[in-house]
Every structure is written in C-alpha cells, then in structure tokens.
Chain A
C-alpha cells in the first residue's frame, strides 16, 4: 500500500495545518497510548512519571513529533530517510514493531479531537497509509 502522489499531497496539506500544534499532539498521543494500551508502559519503566502533562511525557511527545516531521520531509523515500531512526529503534530501543501501529492510531485519534474539520475521511486514509509506511520504514533495520 505505497503512497500515491495524491496521498503525499494530502499528508503534506494536513501537516501544514497541524504542525504548529505538533508538540501538543505528540504529548497527548503518547499519554493516551500509555493509558489506553497499558502494556506500552513497559518501555518507560525508567520514567518517574507517566501521567499526561508530566515532564517526561511532554518532552518525549515532542521528540516523537520531530520524527514524524522528519518523515513528512522524507516522504518520497521513507526507508532511507528514516534509517537513523530505524537503527535506534532496532538496536537500542528494541520496541516491538506492533507498537508503531498502536501509537499511529493514538496519533490519529488526537488529531481527530483537535482538528475534526481537517481530519476528513480523505485526510484519514492518506495519513493512515503514511503512518503505516512510516512504521515499515522504522522496522527496516530490525532483522
């Protein structure tokens, strides 16, 4: 399910509208994932506080969205564009790739709550495809 030119245009158009709120989106999506899918907390046992609004969650949400921004910029070649991030996740973080889908879903829910008019079904399908391809690129170096 690779990205068509139409998909890429839709993702870039949506990103233009939401990128100013990226930090808030990232923080909410991460906090939400930790609550809705508690098994994901296992990756953050080193954090003193996992609650929404806490310092570690806010800071990390920002980091995640910087990664998403990198992916939007490299949308024409996600596998090479995200190679450094893939190596990080594969060799150091060793996050089970199934969780990429989980976080992707949470990101979309947050975007729906914050930008209901912009997150039309057409924008939804393009973003869902993009996040799936992003996840695949992140998994590139795992084995």
Chain B
C-alpha cells in the first residue's frame, strides 16, 4: 500500500489538471520513439517512423500518445490503489503487447522531460520527486502481472 503525503497527492492532481493531454501525451510518446529508437519495435503498424520529423507528425503516434495519457489519468484518479486499477493493463502489456517492461522507464523519463519543459521553474525538485514517485508506482503496477 503506497503512502502519499498531502503534498504528493496535491502535486500530482495539480500537474494533471494543468497539462494539455492532447499535447503532452503525443509529445512524450514521440520523444520516446526518437530518443530510444528501439522502442519503435512495438509500433510496426504505425507507418512512417523514419526520422524525428516523421515521428512528430505521425497521426497514429499522436493518437496513441493520447491513449497512453488517458491510461495515466486512471492512476491519477485512483492513487490509493493503482496496483488493482492497472491489473488488466498489466496483463495486456505482458500477454498481448509483449512489451519489455524496462521500456516503461524510458517512456516515464520522456514524460518527465516533457512535463518539465511545460512547467519550467515550477517543476521544482520537490515537485519532480513527487512526479517521479508517482511514475515509479505506475511502472511497478504495470510490471506486476508479468511472469
């Protein structure tokens, strides 16, 4: 059972209330595909991922970025039981999508950089720590059903 301080709880709610899902989701996913190109292995059906410009303007990447962030919103709304809420998502990633769970950390790092870029000086070390903790719980929950 994860214990959240009042500050951590408020910080996560605040971040997700302020970010534009339509921008942040696609930006994080496309950055991940550019910075860690081996992650493209999971997106064979997405068409042109040939270079950074193609990835950034790819409509399937953008659409999927929104799917990913919608999934994160579930965790934001259920911070006290992310493990249970993510059970089906974990099974999906493990059994159907067969994603190497180390990739979750890569996407988490890119999301952190995108949110940091958006928030600027407001992304203080303390806010960063809360965000990092939240993503660590999300990643652990997504890993849970792998065997």
Binding site for B on A (CB under 8 A): 28, 31-32, 34-36, 52, 105, 108-110, 112-114, 116, 119-122, 124-125, 128
Q: What 4 A-B pairs have minimum CB-CB distances, sorted nearest first? A: A116-B117, A35-B125, A121-B34, A32-B125
Contacting residues, chain B, for A108 (C-beta < 8 A): 113
**Contact: A121 with B52, CB < 8 Å?**
yes
Please, how many angstroms separate the alpha-carbon atoms of A35 and B31 in the complex? 25
Interface of A, helix, strand, loop or mixed by DSSP: helix
A122 touches B34 (CB 8 A): yes
Instruction: Say yes or no: A36-B109 contact (C-beta < 8 A), given A112-B117, A124-B34.
Output: no
Segment among B73-81, B84-92, B126-134, B139-147 that sits at the interface with chain A:
B126-134
Q: How many angstroms between the C-alpha atoms of A124 and B117 in the bound complex?
A: 12
Number of A-B contacts (CB under 8 A): 58
B116 lies within 8 A of A112 (CB): yes
Residues of A within 8 Å of B113, CB to CB, are: 108-109, 112, 119, 124
Complex Cα–Cα for A81 and B57 (A)? 39
The answer to whether A121 and B129 touch across the interface, beta carbons within 8 angstroms, is no
B109 to chain A, nearest CB (A): 6
Q: Would you call B35 an interface residue if the criterion is a C-beta within 8 Å of the partner chain's C-beta atoms?
A: yes
Contacts of A119 in B (CB 8 A): 113, 117
